[in-house]
Structure 1
């Protein structure tokens, strides 16, 4: 069994069908150009042109960059270059105001609608995706195999393999290294040391705060975070949205297509995440399913890992904030 099960099959001379097709098209173009221009251009110039075509074909067929074949990488680069780079959270691109003078073809295009893969996050942490799937996130710790005996290592690997074999849909394992803010911990210790009555504890707390400040100046500490995303297909048939859904778009008319085709009460992704947490706990891994706030923080940290997470209890920028109703007193 090959190590890479996703590797394409080879057709001839260790080349895949895609590589052979690229080389065949390049050879056909070179032969056609040689036959058409042989009576017009000198042979050295034709040979140089055919050599350039051959080099380009070999680079496209055999070259790789960022783990992708060169032709696919170039196709993705062209698609990225033609895609709009200025995006807006509005559902449709808004025209410029009438008081703004715009050119027929402005140099800076107007922002295009931002299409996010997720439409809403429930309070229990279930994420509703636009592709007809729901997902949940499991935060897990790691296990040091080097400190285990060979029998324990075999048991851990077999347990991990059983969890992989139990998957009915593709899952995602994300391992990130995020910076740790030691200065905030040091400032908290300094504030705590000023309120301690015992001078010995106050000195120890101040010394530890100074150590954290020194460590933050000399090093860039990182913490490793392991997240497992477990998707699950949704059920269609009921055109209603759960009330406890916290959508990033408050208006119902701006909900993404397919978001209303979910059956209320279905928590397939949440149940699958809980099963994953139980399976990993048998391997000595501390795993927990993230709730809505924790899932939001994890997604925000993945998008911008160097920005501190928003404190819990604070409303989102687009959330509608209301206060208690005011009581009117009647004047007599």
Structure 2
């Protein structure tokens, strides 16, 4: 076989389902054939007792609904899966609590309504262990590192090829699950503006103080007129846990894989910094409200820390 004959075209969408008959997938054929077989069986059972017009009037809406479920889409999701997700969402509890146990029934002397009790909130992350690793319970542990960026467009073609080669070398060396997450979060310039205004009074020359105050005013106007965002690139390494000491072994493997990725990516100017426990807690808290500004470090309490207030007793 020649080289030209061995070339196979790979579609751009590798997750696209295979076509079985024409442009119909196996799922679509199952819906259409199943509906057709059901309608035919119902007609064979009741066709002798029910007029043909009545059978057609009953079967036509069912056939149209099955066709819409098979070929329809909503937001890139097939209509049958969309309907199943809507039913599952409707039947699932809407009030969730962060309790690992079932919510007890209220006492009989409380005039409680007939509303459904809150259900436990099941999150994939069980907690944050040493070195900032995320405990995923039976799924193992995950290590999170913040990775710097490089300007790809400003590089020469040879430098771009070198960057792509280094990144491909790291991808080929992966021995477990890894995720590159690019997220955007709001930037709060309040502390920066306050620091500029405070330090401007200590500058030795009036011109420097005036320039610092003008820059603080510029930042204040910029933050009030625009929504400032910063881009953060995260590298998540996950390792499954198995056995009695599976979590410790998985943690060691995750840290070792992250160190290897840091060395490989460092050859193209990227720096991977492992997030500590407080940074991971801040990151997880910000994921619940991405549009809100990040919380200060002093407002984040780690598991096991005692939360106190500054008010007088």
Scaled by the length of structure 1, the TM-score of the pair is 0.79
Distance 1:120 1:317 in 2: 9
User: In structure 2, the residue corresponding to 1:267 is in which secondary structure?
Assistant: helix
On the 8 A contact 2:241/2:250 being kept in 1, the answer is: no
Q: Identify which of 183, 186, 201 aligns with 2:208.
A: 201
Q: 1:127 aligns to what?
A: 134
Q: 2:94 aligns to what?
A: 85
Distance 2:37 2:71 in 1: 18
Bigger fraction of residues in helix: 2
Q: 2:3 aligns to what?
A: none
Correspondence 1:69 to 2:78: yes
Change (3 A) 1:305 1:122: same
Distance 2:108 2:192 in 1: 51
Q: Identify which of 293, 312, 315 aligns with 2:297.
A: 312
Q: 1:223 aligns to what?
A: 230
Distance 1:222 1:320 in 2: 31
Q: 1:172 aligns to what?
A: 179
Correspondence 1:143 to 2:150: yes
On the 8 A contact 2:262/2:272 being kept in 1, the answer is: yes
The CA deviation at 1:7 is 2.7
Q: Identify which of 263, 276, 280 aligns with 1:291.
A: 276
Q: 1:56 aligns to what?
A: 65
On the 8 A contact 1:126/1:267 being kept in 2, the answer is: no
Change (3 A) 1:52 1:143: farther
Structure 1 vs Structure 2 CA RMSD: 2.7
On the 8 A contact 1:230/1:269 being kept in 2, the answer is: yes
Q: 2:112 aligns to what?
A: 102
Distance 1:319 1:203 in 2: 47
Change (3 A) 1:47 1:145: farther
Q: 1:20 aligns to what?
A: 29
Distance 2:200 2:285 in 1: 33
User: In structure 2, the residue corresponding to 1:124 is in which secondary structure?
Assistant: helix
Q: 2:6 aligns to what?
A: none
On the 8 A contact 1:62/1:70 being kept in 2, the answer is: yes
User: In structure 1, the residue corresponding to 2:153 is in which secondary structure?
Assistant: helix
The CA deviation at 1:152 is 2.5
Change (3 A) 1:153 1:70: farther
Distance 2:197 2:20 in 1: 68
User: In structure 2, the residue corresponding to 1:147 is in which secondary structure?
Assistant: coil
Change (3 A) 1:216 1:296: same
The CA deviation at 1:133 is 1.2
On the 8 A contact 1:183/1:212 being kept in 2, the answer is: no
Correspondence 1:279 to 2:264: yes
Distance 1:191 1:128 in 2: 42
Q: 1:112 aligns to what?
A: 119
Correspondence 1:40 to 2:50: yes
Distance 1:99 1:310 in 2: 41
The CA deviation at 1:63 is 2.4
Correspondence 1:11 to 2:12: no
Distance 1:25 1:65 in 2: 22
Distance 2:248 2:218 in 1: 54
User: In structure 2, the residue corresponding to 1:31 is in which secondary structure?
Assistant: helix
Identify unmatched segments of 5+ residues in structure 1.
239-260, 324-332
On the 8 A contact 2:177/2:239 being kept in 1, the answer is: no
Change (3 A) 1:52 1:170: farther
Scaled by the length of structure 2, the TM-score of the pair is 0.83
On the 8 A contact 1:60/1:70 being kept in 2, the answer is: yes
Deviates more, 1:202-211 or 1:300-309: 300-309
Q: 1:270 aligns to what?
A: 255
Identify unmatched segments of 5+ residues in structure 2.
1-9, 309-313
Change (3 A) 1:58 1:131: farther
